[in-house]
Structure 1
C-alpha cells in the first residue's frame, strides 16, 4: 500500500476517535483498536466513506499481556506496517490504592504504561529501517501536578509517560533517526467519555468552562508537535499556564492546591 498507516489505541471514542478523523483527513490509512468492536467498525465505515482510506479494526484489551503481539500480528497478516503510533488508550481508576485490588491496579499499569511502551519498542525497529516514524503518547497535565488522593497511579503513570517520550525522542535524534519523532501530548480537561466512565462527570461539570477543551484542537496540537519533532506539548493557553505554575510554585503550595481541588475530579470511593 502506498498510503501510510497510523495505529491508534483507544480509538472507539473521544481523543482516540478524533485522532482517527484527523489522520484520515490527511489521507492516512488507519488501524483502530479498542475493546468495543461495534464502535470501531462504525468509525471505520464513516472514515472510509468520507476520505477513501482503508481502516482496519482490531478488538483487543490492552490489559491482556498478549494484546500488543495480537495487534501487530493482525497488521502483519494484512501486509501492513505502522508508520505512526498513537498511544491513547486509558481510563481513570477510582478509589484509593488500598481499597482497590492489585488486579485492578496491575491492569491499569498495563493499559496506560506497559502496553504503550511495548508498542513503541516493537514498532520502532521498522520505523528505523524505513527512515520514518511518528509516535504520540497521550499523557496528561496531571503528569506535571502534585500527587493527589484517589486515582493513585494516574499522575505518576502520566509523569512517567512524559519522561519516557522525551528520552525516546532524544534517542532517535542522537542515533541519526532525524525523521522519527516522539511527542507526549499533555491535555488538561477535555470533553470526552473519560469522566463519565470514572464517575466524576457530575463534579467536573461544575468546573469553569475555561478549563475545558474540545478534542479537535487537542489532537491537532499533538499532530503538529510530532511533525515538528517537539517532545512535549501542552495544548491550550490555560493548560500552558497551569503547567508553568506547577514548575514555579513551591512544592508545599502545589500539594495544598491539588489537595483542595482533587475531590472535584478524583473519586476515592469505588
Structure 2
C-alpha cells in the first residue's frame, strides 16, 4: 500500500533522481518530471525493478514554461487523485561574477531557480489549497544564508528567494489549512550540477548520503533543515551571524 504520492521536479538527475529512488524505497508513489525524458524512463525502469508495487508516472517538463508547469501539475493531480507532497527541486548552477559580461548566464539561473520556482509554488499551492492538505518542500541551499561571491552570487540570491517564498507561506500559517511547508538547505552534496567543483569543496558528501539526510528531514516535515546536520548546522549559524570579513575568508 502506498504512503502517498510525491511530485518531484528536476527528477532526471542529481538530487531529484536520488530522492526519487529513496522515496520509492520508503513506499511512496511518484510523479516525476524533467526535460530529459530518456533519463526519466531509465529511472522508472530501475524503480520498477526494485519496487514493482510502486506507481511511477512521468511527464516532460521545462520548468521555465509557465503554462506547462500548471498543466503538468494539474494532470498529475488528476491522474493520482491527489498529490500529497511537491518537492520543488529543479535548478541550474550557471553563473559568473556580476559585471563580467555574462548576464545571459546569470539571468538564466535567476529565471530557472526563482521565477520558475515561483510558478511551481503557485501550481502546487493551488492543488493543496483545493485539497486542504499537502506538503510543500522547497530545495534551497546553504549558500542562501548569506550573499556569496563571484560565480555563485546569483545562484545564492535565487536560493535565498526560494527560501523567502516558503517562509512567506510559513508566516501565512498555511499549516492551519492543512498544508505543511519545509525549506531544505543542502550543504555540499555531490551531483551533476557541481561535479566540476566537487573535488575542491570542503565537507562534500556523496549523493546517496546527502540525499538520505534530506529525505529524513522532509519525512519529519521540518520547517527548516540544514542537511547533513553535521557540519552544516554550526556552519549555517556562522554564515548567518559572522561579520562579512569572516564569511569572506571562509567561503
Fold in common (TM above 0.5):
yes
Q: Any residues of structure 2 matched to 1:1-270 within 5 Å, and which?
A: 4-51=4-51, 52-75=53-76, 78=79, 80-98=81-99, 99-102=101-104, 104-173=105-174, 176-177=176-177, 179-196=178-195, 200-201=196-197, 204-208=198-202, 211-236=203-228, 237-258=230-251
Aligned counterparts of 1:144 and 1:120: Cα–Cα separation in 2: 21
Aligned counterparts of 2:183 and 2:74: Cα–Cα separation in 1: 26
Aligned counterparts of 2:71 and 2:55: Cα–Cα separation in 1: 20
Of residues 157-166 and 64-73 in structure 1, the stretch that sits farther from structure 2 once superposed is 64-73
SS at the partner of 2:182? strand
Q: Is the 8 A contact 2:2 2:29 kept in 1?
A: no
Count of residues paired in the alignment: 248
Shift of 1:186: 0.8
Aligned counterparts of 1:229 and 1:30: Cα–Cα separation in 2: 18
Of residues 249-258 and 84-93 in structure 1, the stretch that sits farther from structure 2 once superposed is 249-258
Q: Is the 8 A contact 1:58 1:71 kept in 2?
A: yes
SS at the partner of 1:189? coil
Superposed CA deviations along residues 6-33 of structure 1, whole A, max 9, x for unmatched, are 1111111111011111221222211111
Shift of 1:156: 0.8
Of residues 244-253 and 232-241 in structure 1, the stretch that sits farther from structure 2 once superposed is 244-253
Q: Is the 8 A contact 1:87 1:137 kept in 2?
A: yes
Please report the TM-score for the alignment, with normalisation by the length of structure 2. 0.87
Cα pair distance change 1:214/1:221, threshold 3 Å: same
After superposing on structure 2, the runs of 4+ consecutive aligned residues of structure 1 that deviate more than 6 Å are none
Aligned counterparts of 1:181 and 1:172: Cα–Cα separation in 2: 9
5+ residue gaps, structure 1, are: 259-270
Please report the TM-score for the alignment, with normalisation by the length of structure 1. 0.81
